[in-house]
């Protein structure tokens, strides 16, 4: 965060439909447009692989961009599914 070298790098942003679709449920502070590193990486790689565009377009036409089940992340979806399981497991310990 304090490195000027990092700030000099070109930044790219994920489409808003993805950025608002975070499933990091165990985060202490909920933030808008915030994804876990795993989610951001999976979405970015799927976009670069061309595996995500159709899924985003499909969910937009259905008017259901908030439902993570409607956005499929290609062969990275397995990682996101395991991440969701991890979140639910961790939440099971909360009272």
Taking 70 as the pLDDT cut, the residues of the chain under it are 28-30, 53-70, 95
Supply the pLDDT for residue 67: 54
Task: Confirm if 54 and 68 have CB atoms less than 8 A apart.
Answer: no
Supply the pLDDT for residue 54: 64
Burial class (CB in 10 A: 0-12, 13-18, 19+), 40: middle
Burial class (CB in 10 A: 0-12, 13-18, 19+), 71: buried
Supply the pLDDT for residue 45: 92
What is the tens place of the pLDDT at every residue in 52-76?
866 666 655 555 445 555 688 889 9
How many domains would you assign to the chain?
A: 1
Supply the pLDDT for residue 77: 93
- Structure pTM? 0.72
Domain containing 27 equals: 4-91
């Amino acid at each position: 965060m304090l490195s000027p070298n990092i700030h000099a790098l070109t930044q790219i942003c994920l489409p808003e439909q993805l950025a608002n679709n975070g499933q990091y449920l165990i985060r202490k502070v909920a933030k808008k447009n915030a994804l876990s590193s795993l989610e951001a990486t999976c979405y970015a790689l799927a976009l670069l692989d061309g595996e995500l565009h159709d899924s985003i377009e499909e969910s937009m036409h259905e008017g259901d961009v908030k439902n993570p089940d409607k956005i499929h992340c290609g062969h990275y979806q397995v990682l996101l599914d395991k991440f969701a399981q991890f979140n639910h497991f961790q939440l099971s310990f909360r009272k």
